[in-house]
Amino acid sequence: MNEVGPFLVTSYTFKSGKEYIVKTRVAAFKGHQRNLELTITDKHTAENWQSCYDAAFFLYFQDIENLTHKTGNYKHFDVFVAMLQSGLLKTSESIALDLLTFEDLELLRARKLERSSYSSLGNATNNRRYLILTYTVEFDRIHYPLPLEYCGLPSPTVLQTTIRKLQTELERLQSTGVHKDLQRRIEQLTIANKKLVQENRRLASGGKGLKYLLESIKSLENNVVKERTSFRTQIQRLKAENAALLLRVQQLTASANKKSGDDSPASKRRNRTPPCRRNRSRSSISSRNRTSSLSPGVHLLNQSST
């Protein structure tokens, strides 16, 4: 069973300045044999170049991988297809594409080999194109050439079929009313655009609106200056209050430290008599009092004994 993927169709301008329509698709045959279909069409002359011109010229994924292997930088088929799509959509700065003729390719080869002449083939070969995919890494640049066979101009039958399809699509859009809605929307946008252009011209010519805007801007600038001055004054006042509070806190802290020093136990011991000394003084006083009270009796006893 054949599996055909969706087409990637985009417009691409190569280094020559010509614009082409590039169409790519990956198709699988019998579920495992895949090939890359590549078609390039000149947007002005409608000439076509294809990489799947005939069954004998199919670029199977083995050939893609062999081609990358010969360049010295091997890429898997899926990776190479992703690189090609990234180059067409310009989503990677390291991928660049260019379309060369056979003469351009031979000239580049001659320059690389430092030769002044190169071989020339017939007109059939000269009509061939080469899509050059350049992959730039930090210290190297790799070129992958993809040959494209010349298919000539599209046949009148194909052109007539395309014209009929476009006419049918146009009639369908007109019958569904989508065309009328789009036309009405375009008219509304055109009127709005004209009004905006007129307003822009009026403002640019120095009308009242512009003068009013300038005055408003100047007033806003003055208000900003006043607010800045007010904020600076408030900041200075808050700084002064903060400094006063800090000084007050330091004074209270010093006073509290001094008071706590006076009430300390060492200071209290210095200010009162030790208990042992007071007890000794009391005992000496009481002993003297007892001696004085007993001294007359003792004297009488001494006299009687004599």
- The per-residue pLDDT for range 192-202, each reduced to its tens digit, is 999 998 888 77
SS3 label, residue 1: coil
pLDDT band at 158 (very low <50, low <70, confident <90, very high): confident
Q: Is the pLDDT of residue 297 over 80?
A: no
**Per the structure block, which two tokens stand in for 279?**
């007890």
pTM above 0.75, yes or no: no
Please state the rounded mean pLDDT for residues 242-250: 91
| pLDDT exceeds cutoff 90 at 105 | no
**Mean of pLDDT values over 198-220:** 76
pLDDT > 50? residue 264:
yes
**Does residue 97 surpass a pLDDT of 90?**
yes
- Please tell me the predicted confidence (pLDDT) of residue 44: 86
62 against 184, higher pLDDT:
184
Class of domain 3-154: mainly beta
What pLDDT score does 41 carry? 92
Task: Check residue 134 and give its pLDDT.
Answer: 93
Beta-bridge partner residues of 21: 11, 41
pLDDT above 70: residue 207: no
Cα–Cα distance for residue pair 286/136, rounded to 1 Å: 118
Question: Is a pLDDT exceeding 80 seen at residue 88?
Answer: yes
Query: What is the three-class DSSP state of 289?
Result: helix
Query: Which residue from 84, 50, 49 is spatially nearest to 64, judged by alpha carbons?
Result: 84
Residue 45: predicted pLDDT: 85
Q: pLDDT confidence of 96, banded at 50, 70, 90?
A: very high
Query: What tokens were used for 174?
Result: 């007109």
- In angstroms, the CA 14 to CA 133 distance is 12
- Mean pLDDT score of the chain, rounded to an integer? 76
Q: What is the pLDDT of residue 162?
A: 80
Tens digit of each residue's pLDDT (9 = 90 or more) over 7-61:
888 999 998 888 999 999 887 766 556 778 889 999 888 889 987 633 333 444 4
Q: What is the structure's pLDDT at 215?
A: 82
Torsion sign across C-alpha atoms 215, 216, 222, 226 = positive
% of the chain residues with pLDDT over 70: 71
What does the pLDDT read at residue 303? 47
pLDDT tier for residue 299 given thresholds of 50, 70 and 90: very low
Structural domain boundaries of the chain? Answer: 3-154, 160-204
Looking at residue 122, what is its pLDDT?
A: 47
Residue 173 has pLDDT above 60, yes or no: yes
| Contact by Cβ (8 Å): 77, 34 | yes
| Segment 97-114 mean pLDDT | 84
Q: Tell me what pLDDT residue 20 has.
A: 94
Crossing angle of helices 178-204/156-176, nearest 10°? Answer: 80
pLDDT score, position 133: 92
